[in-house]
Amino acid sequence: MTMESPKTRKSCLNLPAAMSGTSLHLDTFSCSSPLSISNLSSPSKSKLSSPSSTSKSSSTCSDRFIPCRSSSRLYAFGLVDKPSPVKDNGGGGNNNEAYSRLLKAELFGSDFASPSSSPAGCGLGSPPSSNILRFKTDSCGPTSPFSSPSTLGRNRNEFSSDNSTPPKPPRKVPKTPLKVLDAPSLQDDFYLNLVDWSSQNVLAVGLGTSVYLWSASNSKVTRLCDLGPHDGVCSVQWTKEGSYISIGTCLGQVQIWDGTRCKRVRTMGGHQTRTGVLAWNSRILASGSRDRNILQHDMRVSNDYISQLVGHKSEVCGLKWSSDDRELASGGNDNQLLIWNQHSQQPALRLTEHTAAVKAISWSPHQSNLLASGGGTADRCIRFWNTTNGHQLNCVDTGSQVCNLAWSKNVNEIVSTHGYSQNQIMVWKYPSLAKVATLTGHTTRVLYLAMSPDGQTIVTGAGDETLRFWNVFPSMKAPTPVKDTGLWSMGRTQIR
């Protein structure tokens, strides 16, 4: 064995000044093997030695550090997926496979010498990846104290699923009305209900002592009736079929008219003063009055009414049947919201959280037993109720008097109209109660609201004696953003 002088070692190894020459020992192997590598031996050895068969001229010294790659997890990034090219010349495939194993053993350590020693499913024997740096799920590779392979794999799948579907942009609602109708003598009275839109696409409006019908298909205006100088119209409501219309009068009567023939069919009494709200279900008409009572009328019997519901302490101004006709919700100027059913003439629920008159009432068409109600100027809140147990599900302060509520049948959204102090129209998502749109245009409180048969357009009426048509909801078949173009021109016409 030949010992090299310190001067020779200094010329071959480029060592830092702080590192002593005797602290590093290099074992140099013979070059007879196909490949030779330099290893760092343990610092505990005290000599620099080489095999006796190696001469001074054949020894190779290098300062390059070859790291151990057995724990570097390069397979996780697809860096070792590509096998060496295979030639179809007899036994060349086996020789090439042996060469690949030997190369991997020399470059990455003995752990990568054979496919059986590689982690299952980690890609050593798999076809080459099209994306070389694609990260793979490390469910079976070397573990690290700083990460959990199963957690990394699960999060990667979650993130990829989220990123594959970009968030939908907010739906755009036109800020201007489709059409404006002049409505002279439209009363500025919070407790009346003077606008309704039939399933046959005919709008009924009470103006003073008369009721006018406006056809949305051809814009034709027809005067249905005139109650005379000693009476007035307080409420209008179409039947579900849209053929007949009920009219509540200032004298407390309820009149039934044939909307097609413009002929009165029946007149029913029972109330002592004005009938400000009406509500049809499939066969029963409910009427609410300033006399604090609710009467139920059946057109199949000769009596004026079949039952009387007593529960409010002030004028009844809101009435709505549930979609299954099993429950009736009533709101009054006594700040109460009452729920009635067919089994009793006493209210099944008495909800008293509102602090002002409850006129705005709407049942959800998407979820049974879900009711929305709105309070007047002192309350300003929209509240959502589960009528099965009477629990309040949610509440939002709108900042203005809530005059009307209507639930969209096409999407799970609700529209509200408001009075003091902003006179706005608002569209809300449910259940998040995020604002979809805020529409303005009326100069006084928006007291009246009705929805078109297709569920896309609403009409609002106010004390400024105008009716404005707004396209706020998408269609049921194609929920695409609503455009500013509509069925009617932007002209302003007069309803009478």
- Helix boundaries (H) for 298-355: none
* pLDDT above 50 for 29: no
DSSP letters spanning 10-61: HHH----TTS-GGG--EE---TTSS----EE--TT-------TT--TTT---
User: What is the structure's pLDDT at 148?
Assistant: 42
Maximum distance among all Cα pairs of the chain, rounded to whole angstroms? 132
Least confident span in 47-61, 176-190, 325-339, 386-400: 47-61
Provide the mean pLDDT of the chain. 79
Cα–Cα distance for residue pair 293/300, rounded to 1 Å:
22
Least confident span in 96-105, 238-247, 409-418, 465-474: 96-105
Q: Which amino acid is at 349?
A: L
What confidence tier does 491 reach under pLDDT thresholds 50, 70, 90? low
More confident residue, 166 or 52: 166
Region 481-491: mean pLDDT is: 47
User: What is the structure's pLDDT at 97?
Assistant: 79
Least confident span in 81-85, 369-373, 374-378: 81-85
Among 78, 96, 77, which Cα is nearest to 86's?
Answer: 96
Among 179, 178, 190, which Cα is nearest to 462's?
Answer: 190
What confidence tier does 61 reach under pLDDT thresholds 50, 70, 90? low
Among 85, 66, 82, 65, which Cα is nearest to 74's?
Answer: 82
Q: Which amino acid is at 388?
A: T
Share of the chain above pLDDT 70, in %: 65
Among 340, 266, 331, which Cα is nearest to 301's?
Answer: 266
More confident residue, 110 or 327: 327
C-alpha pair distances (Å), 92 with each of 11, 66, 113, 124, 422? 44, 30, 19, 20, 86
Give all strands of the β-sheet with 195-197 in edge-to-edge order: 195-197, 202-207, 210-215, 221-226
Cα–Cα distance for residue pair 137/305, rounded to 1 Å:
73
Q: What's the N-to-C CA distance of the chain in angstroms? A: 121
Q: Which amino acid is at 53?
A: S
User: What is the structure's pLDDT at 28?
Assistant: 45
Least confident span in 224-233, 277-286, 362-371, 469-478: 469-478
75 alpha carbon, distance to own chain's centre: 41
Region 195-209: mean pLDDT is: 97
Ramachandran quadrant class, 113 (left: phi over 0; alpha: psi -120 to 50; beta: rest): alpha
Region 294-302: mean pLDDT is: 95
Contact in structure between 360 and 396 (CB atoms under 8 Å) = no
More confident residue, 215 or 15: 215
* pLDDT above 60 for 202: yes
User: What is the structure's pLDDT at 342?
Assistant: 85
Among 385, 300, 380, which Cα is nearest to 338's?
Answer: 385
Cα–Cα distance for residue pair 388/35, rounded to 1 Å:
82
* pLDDT above 90 for 273: yes
Cα–Cα distance for residue pair 277/295, rounded to 1 Å:
11
Rg value, the chain, Cα: 42
Region 119-132: mean pLDDT is: 44
DSSP 8-state assignment for residue 144: B
* pLDDT above 90 for 200: yes
392-447: pLDDT as tens digits: 999 999 999 999 999 999 999 999 999 988 899 999 999 999 999 999 999 999 99
| The most confident of 45-59, 77-91, 109-123, 377-391, by mean pLDDT | 377-391
Cα–Cα distance for residue pair 130/351, rounded to 1 Å:
65
Cα–Cα distance for residue pair 29/37, rounded to 1 Å:
8
More confident residue, 134 or 339: 339
C-alpha pair distances (Å), 34 with each of 103, 111, 337, 366, 479? 10, 20, 93, 77, 70
Token look-up 């500013």 returns 484
DSSP letters spanning 282-297: SSEEEEEETTSEEEEE
Among 341, 334, 372, 339, which Cα is nearest to 356's?
Answer: 334
* pLDDT above 70 for 472: yes
User: What is the structure's pLDDT at 1?
Assistant: 45
- φ and ψ of 95, to 5 deg: -65, -40
C-alpha pair distances (Å), 260 with each of 83, 213, 311? 83, 10, 37
User: What is the structure's pLDDT at 47?
Assistant: 38
More confident residue, 478 or 45: 478
Q: What is the 3-state secondary structure (H, E, C) of 412-431?
A: CEEEEEECCCCCCEEEEECC
User: What is the structure's pLDDT at 496?
Assistant: 65
Torsion angle of the four alpha carbons 296, 300, 304, 307, in this order, in degrees rounded to the nearest 10: -30
Beta strands in 23-177 (DSSP E): 26-27, 39-40
Cα–Cα distance for residue pair 76/133, rounded to 1 Å:
9
Least confident span in 133-147, 225-239, 369-383: 133-147
What confidence tier does 485 reach under pLDDT thresholds 50, 70, 90? very low
What confidence tier does 43 reach under pLDDT thresholds 50, 70, 90? very low
What confidence tier does 77 reach under pLDDT thresholds 50, 70, 90? low
What confidence tier does 101 reach under pLDDT thresholds 50, 70, 90? confident
297-304 own/partner pairs: CB under 8 Å, 24+ apart: 297/254, 297/268, 297/270, 299/256, 299/266, 304/268, 304/269, 304/270
Share of the chain above pLDDT 90, in %: 59
What confidence tier does 104 reach under pLDDT thresholds 50, 70, 90? confident
Cα–Cα distance for residue pair 401/234, rounded to 1 Å:
21
Cα–Cα distance for residue pair 425/206, rounded to 1 Å:
21
* pLDDT above 60 for 53: no
More confident residue, 32 or 211: 211
Least confident span in 109-113, 125-129, 309-313, 352-356: 125-129
Cα–Cα distance for residue pair 169/495, rounded to 1 Å:
38
